């Protein structure tokens, strides 16, 4: 929970803006087939985790390395721009070699951003929008396009940072001196995986041919409409001696001869152009449906499903789409898991100060807890799971529908119901409604008042006790209030004196919980005069209070 909370904090829009960078990676993958991200942590001057999308045109990889980036003998990135000030600060901090930085500052100095790309693929993007990147590349001080390379030499992996133009190196270190785990910071995923090729086709490659054909057919349809609006015609020169008068003009007059006795209709013939609009519509619809069937991008997945479709057909189509898109999603999920692994390693290596994060307690209430470097020892984490993908959500919806149908059939049949645990059925119905396990537990526990407000007050009291304070007694306490305090004491390794204070504080609220429970129960009716009163049922509130108090004490005390 602490690791997840730190991930949420580091990736938030006010910190790392990781969602924005993830979308940039996906856009790149749509057009190139590859999404590439770089993740690393730093602790100078304080902890920070960084995620950066990497342009494929800047990325360096081994052409024969295959689809798995970890198998490449070298990988890296070009066009990492550093100003003169940044190089000097890096040298003073020991990140770059001071002597080598001095050599670079003497050998090459430019105050414009000039990407190193022999084929100009990257800069050609700007020309599409009518922009010239060379016009506004002045930055005000000397700036250098560095190259960062992770390469293998004599069986060891090294990190090398150098200037591309001059070849002057600034940093050469074994990778374990930079990243304790020995992993390079790049993670990549493919839309169409090929284990033997790093580069493979992109989603636009599936669409491009159909888009070109659609454009041609649509343009021909426009030409057809224009031909039908402006027909070619033949005329009889004996009847229409001046053909220029046949062109349309407002209130136009046309000189015509009738010497041969022919009618005007006989003197003019129109060449008809057949209407191909329906053929065009049918062709475009066919290609759209064909593309959707092959790629999984159907009207249903785009939110345009036919309202007349039956539920079974709808869920069947959804499952097919999930299966097809799930293949794309596997590579992305594995890349996200690699990001998670590197993120945990960065926490373990660079988290220097204690940070408070919000985590969900066992009663479903959010609580602030301190995280420390020791919390993120990588061996504590058996695996990293990636959740919330679109295809997984679709498959979950299909499973929920099946469970819902089964549970409804059991609940509607009294004979079947006798053979099942009714509490289990209720619990499964709540889970199917996307209630959390904690919310289900509170809902199923009739004796435990799970009011969120009172549980929040219990969390505040716990924090005060741990901080050395003495919170006031809470007259609105319930059994849930007491249970939260006792559960916290059980689930955390606390000092003996703090644990005793929590137990004593919980015990002091038993009387309030009993009183509040009695208030919430229906009051007994006073019998009419002459009515039969069962002698075996105690009528004294004192007796009820004593028994209930003892029962709560036995239940809540660990």
Task: Please tell me the predicted confidence (pLDDT) of residue 141.
Answer: 79
Beta strands in 43-155 (DSSP E): 48-53, 59-61, 74-83, 143-153
CB atoms within 10 A of CB 179: 20
Residue 36 DSSP code = E
Task: Please tell me the predicted confidence (pLDDT) of residue 120.
Answer: 62
Task: Please tell me the predicted confidence (pLDDT) of residue 115.
Answer: 58
CA pair distance 311, 430, nearest whole angstrom? 22
CA pair distance 43, 388, nearest whole angstrom? 31
Residue 541 DSSP code = H
CA pair distance 144, 165, nearest whole angstrom? 9
Decide if 391 contacts 329 (C-beta within 8 A).
Answer: yes
Task: Please tell me the predicted confidence (pLDDT) of residue 539.
Answer: 42
pTM for the whole structure: 0.60
Decide if 392 contacts 330 (C-beta within 8 A).
Answer: no
Decide if 112 contacts 137 (C-beta within 8 A).
Answer: yes
pLDDT digits (tens, 9 = 90+) for 393-423: 555 666 777 777 777 777 777 776 777 777 7
**Sign (positive/negative) of CA torsion 64, 67, 68, 69?**
positive
At residue 119, does pLDDT exceed 60?
Answer: no
CA pair distance 173, 253, nearest whole angstrom? 90
Reported as a pLDDT band with limits 50, 70 and 90, residue 480 is confident
At residue 5, does pLDDT exceed 50?
Answer: yes
């Amino acid at each position: 929970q602490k690791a997840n909370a730190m991930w949420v904090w580091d990736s938030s829009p006010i910190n790392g803006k990781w969602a924005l960078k993830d979308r940039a990676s996906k856009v790149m993958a749509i057009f190139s087939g590859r999404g590439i991200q770089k993740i690393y942590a730093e602790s100078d001057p304080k902890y920070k985790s960084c995620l950066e999308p990497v342009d494929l045109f800047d990325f360096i990889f081994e052409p024969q390395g295959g689809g798995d980036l970890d198998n490449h003998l070298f990988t890296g990135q070009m066009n990492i721009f550093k100003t003169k000030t940044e190089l000097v600060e890096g040298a003073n901090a020991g990140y770059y070699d001071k002597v080598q930085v001095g050599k670079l500052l003497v050998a090459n100095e430019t105050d414009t951003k000039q990407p190193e790309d022999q084929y100009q693929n990257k800069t050609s993007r700007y020309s599409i929008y009518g922009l010239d990147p060379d016009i506004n590349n002045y930055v005000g001080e000397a700036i250098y396009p560095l190259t960062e390379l992770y390469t293998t030499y004599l069986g060891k992996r090294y990190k090398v940072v150098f200037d591309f133009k001059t070849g002057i190196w600034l940093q050469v270190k074994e990778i374990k001196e930079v990243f304790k785990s020995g992993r390079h910071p790049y993670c990549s995923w493919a839309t169409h995986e090929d284990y033997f090729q790093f580069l493979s086709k992109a989603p636009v490659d599936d669409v491009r041919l159909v888009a070109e054909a659609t454009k041609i057919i649509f343009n021909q349809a426009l030409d057809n409409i224009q031909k039908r609006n402006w027909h070619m015609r033949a005329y009889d020169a004996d009847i229409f001696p001046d053909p220029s008068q046949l062109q349309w003009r407002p209130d136009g007059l046309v000189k015509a001869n009738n010497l041969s006795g022919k009618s005007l209709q006989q003197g003019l013939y129109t060449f008809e152009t057949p209407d191909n609009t329906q053929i065009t519509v049918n062709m475009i619809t066919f290609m759209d449906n064909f593309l959707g069937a092959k790629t999984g991008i159907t009207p249903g997945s785009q939110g345009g499903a036919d309202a007349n479709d039956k539920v079974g057909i709808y869920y069947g189509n959804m499952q097919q789409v999930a299966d097809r898109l799930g293949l794309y999603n596997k590579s992305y999920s594995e890349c996200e898991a690699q990001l998670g692994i590197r993120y945990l390693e960065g926490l373990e290596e660079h988290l220097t100060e204690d940070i408070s994060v919000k985590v969900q307690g066992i009663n479903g209430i959010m609580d602030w807890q301190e995280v420390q470097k020791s919390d993120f020892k990588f061996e504590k984490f058996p695996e990293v799971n990636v959740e919330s993908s679109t295809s997984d959500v679709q498959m979950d919806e299909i499973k929920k529908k099946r469970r819902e149908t089964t549970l409804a059939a059991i609940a509607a049949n009294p004979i079947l119901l006798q053979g099942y645990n009714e509490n289990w059925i209720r619990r499964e119905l709540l889970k199917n409604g996307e209630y959390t396990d904690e919310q289900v537990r509170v809902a199923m526990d009739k004796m435990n008042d799970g009011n969120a407000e009172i549980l929040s007050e219990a969390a505040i009291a716990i924090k005060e006790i741990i901080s050395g304070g003495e919170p006031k007694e809470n007259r609105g306490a319930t059994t849930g209030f007491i249970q939260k305090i006792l559960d916290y004491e059980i689930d955390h390794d606390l000092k003996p004196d703090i644990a005793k204070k929590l137990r004593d504080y919980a015990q002091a609220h038993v009387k309030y919980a009993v009183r509040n429970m009695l208030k919430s129960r229906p009051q007994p009716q006073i019998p009419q005069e002459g009515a039969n009163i069962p002698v075996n049922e105690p009528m004294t509130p004192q007796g009820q209070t004593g028994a209930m108090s003892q029962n709560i004490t036995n239940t809540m005390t660990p």
